[in-house]
Amino acid sequence: MRIARGGSAAAGLALCLGALFACGGGSGGGSGGAPSGTPGTAAPSGSGSRGATAGGTSVLKGKVIVLDPGHNGGNAGHPEEIGRQVFVGNGSKACNTTGTATAEGYAEHAFTWDVAGRLARLLRDRGASVTLTRRDDTGVGPCVDERAAIANRLRADAALSIHGDGAAPSGHGFHVIEPLPVGGNAGIVAPSARLGTAIRDAYRDGTGVPPATYVGLDGLDRRDDLGGLNLSRVPAVFIECGNMRNTGDAAQMSSAPFRQRMAEALARGFEHYLG
C-alpha cells in the first residue's frame, strides 16, 4: 500500500500500474497457509500457545481480534466499483485500491491474504475469536469504511490491517501506522498507540526486519488519512510488513517460511498487547 497522504480521490484510486504500484496478478510466493472459504473456518496450526498465563491459560483466550488483509484479488477488474467515493472520517477517498506487487509479480493482495490466514490460525489456536474482513482472495473490496465497521460491530479487542508497501525501491523495512485523532476515533488513539508499539516490537524482534528507512520514526508512523483508522472505534493499527518494491524485502515477503515467521511475530504482538 502506498497512497499519498491527503491525496486526491484520483490518487486514492491508485491502480498500481506504474513502478510504485505494479499490480502483477501472480502469487509467485505461493499461497502457503492462506485460508479458504468463509472466515473463521481455518484449522488450527498445532503450533501451541506461547502466551500462557501462570495458570496455563492463553492470554488470548476469549479475545476478539479482527484481521484486515489489505486489498483483494478482484479489485483490478472492477475499477468503477473500487473507485467510488466513501466517507473516511475527514473527507472522501476511493472505496479500495488494487495494491502493489513485487517486481516478480507477487501481488500485495495475495501476500496479505496469506499472512492473515497464517496469523488467524495461530491466534485461534491460542483461544482468540478471529474474523477476517474478506472471505477470499478473488473478490472485490470491501470498501475501507466497511472494513472498519466489521471490527466496530464485533467490538473487537484489537484490529490489525496487514499490508505490503509500494515505496521507491531504494527504501526498505517495515512500519506500523497508528491513528491520529479524527473526530469519533479520539477514544482509541491512546490504546492504538500501545497496540502499535506491541506489534512493532514483536515484529522487529521476531523477524529481524528493520524499521523502514523512508518513513516514520523507529518503525512507527501516525496518519489521519486512512479510513480504516479514522473510522475505527476499537484499538486498530496498520502494518506495512516491508517494501514490496525493494529487492531484499520482496525476497522475504515472497518466501512462505518467512511469511510464517511474520505471522508468529505478529501473534506475539497481540499477546503482548492483550496479556
pLDDT digits (tens, 9 = 90+) for 183-225: 899 999 999 999 999 999 999 999 999 999 999 999 999 999 9
pLDDT at 231: 98
Q: Identify whether 99 is part of a domain.
A: yes
Is pLDDT above 50 for 261? yes
Q: Identify whether 269 is part of a domain.
A: yes
pLDDT, tens digit, for every residue of 154-191?
999 999 999 999 999 999 999 999 999 998 999 999 99
User: Maximum distance among all alpha carbons in the chain?
Assistant: 54
Assess whether 240 carries a catalytic annotation. Answer: yes
Q: Identify whether 41 is part of a domain.
A: no
Range of the domain at 255: 11-27+55-274
Q: How confident is the model at residue 1 (pLDDT cuts 50, 70, 90)?
A: confident
Cell numbers describing residue 250: 520482496
Task: Please tell me the distance from the alpha carbon of residue 142 to that of residue 211, in angstroms, as a whole number.
Answer: 29
Q: Identify whether 32 is part of a domain.
A: no
pLDDT, tens digit, for every residue of 2-45?
655 544 333 333 333 333 323 333 334 444 333 433 333 333 33
Identify the active-site residue in 178, 240, 264, 271.
240
pLDDT at 57: 78
Residue indicated by cell numbers 518503525? 219
Q: Identify whether 1 is part of a domain.
A: no
Average confidence score pLDDT of the chain = 86
Q: Identify whether 43 is part of a domain.
A: no
Asked if residues 269 and 199 have their Cβ atoms less than 8 Å apart, the reply is yes
Q: Identify whether 165 is part of a domain.
A: yes
Q: What is the CATH classification number for the domain harbouring 123?
A: 3.40.630.40
Cell numbers describing residue 142: 470491501
Asked if residues 226 and 70 have their Cβ atoms less than 8 Å apart, the reply is no
Q: Identify whether 3 is part of a domain.
A: no
Cell numbers describing residue 246: 525493494
- Who contacts 266 (Cβ-Cβ below 8 Å, separation ≥6)? 115, 119, 160, 199, 202, 203, 206, 239
State the average pLDDT over residues 57-82. Answer: 97
Is pLDDT above 90 for 139? yes
- The total of structural domains in the chain comes to 1
